């Protein structure tokens, strides 16, 4: 099964590179690291959805949209944006945090 890449990726990998990739992933040391990172990830309460772009790129995009440097209010908007899923909804406990952020901002502005 792992002797060659899936058809969709066959043109992306030289046979030697694929073999090295499989050897690395089948290594018990790699499995140990993978398990450790899965455990860490499972404890993450507030999942962000910045994908591979990363928070910094989302921040730069927001700054460009706003036309100015970030303020504390913009940082709050950034936190909310990166924690929304593709449907624009906040996942689980992130909604509670967003509500607290918004109420504290309105408290400051009032």
70-93 confidence digits (pLDDT tens): 777 788 888 888 898 889 898 888
pLDDT of residue 54 exceeding 60? yes
Ranges of beta strands (E only) in 4-79 are: none
Q: Using CA of residue 34, residue 40, residue 43, residue 49, what is the dihedral sign?
A: negative
Under 8 Å between Cβ of 76 and 105:
yes
Handedness of CA 13, 18, 22, 23 (dihedral sign): negative
Asked if residue 78 lies in contact with residue 58, where contact means CB atoms within 8 angstroms, the answer is yes
Q: How much is the pLDDT for 27?
A: 93
pLDDT on residue 57: 87
Average pLDDT on 49-63 reads 84
pLDDT level of residue 3 (50, 70, 90 thresholds):
confident
């Amino acid at each position: 099964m792992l002797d060659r890449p899936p058809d969709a990726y066959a043109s992306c990998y030289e046979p030697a590179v694929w073999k090295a990739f499989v050897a690395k992933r089948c290594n018990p040391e790699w499995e140990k690291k993978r398990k450790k990172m899965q455990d860490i990830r499972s404890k993450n309460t507030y999942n962000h959805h910045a994908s591979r772009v990363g928070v910094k790129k989302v921040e730069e995009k927001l700054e460009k949209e706003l036309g100015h440097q970030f303020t504390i209010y913009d940082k709050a908007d950034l936190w909310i944006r990166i924690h929304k899923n593709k449907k624009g909804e906040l996942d689980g406990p992130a909604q509670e945090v967003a509500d607290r952020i918004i109420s504290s901002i309105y408290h400051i502005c009032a």
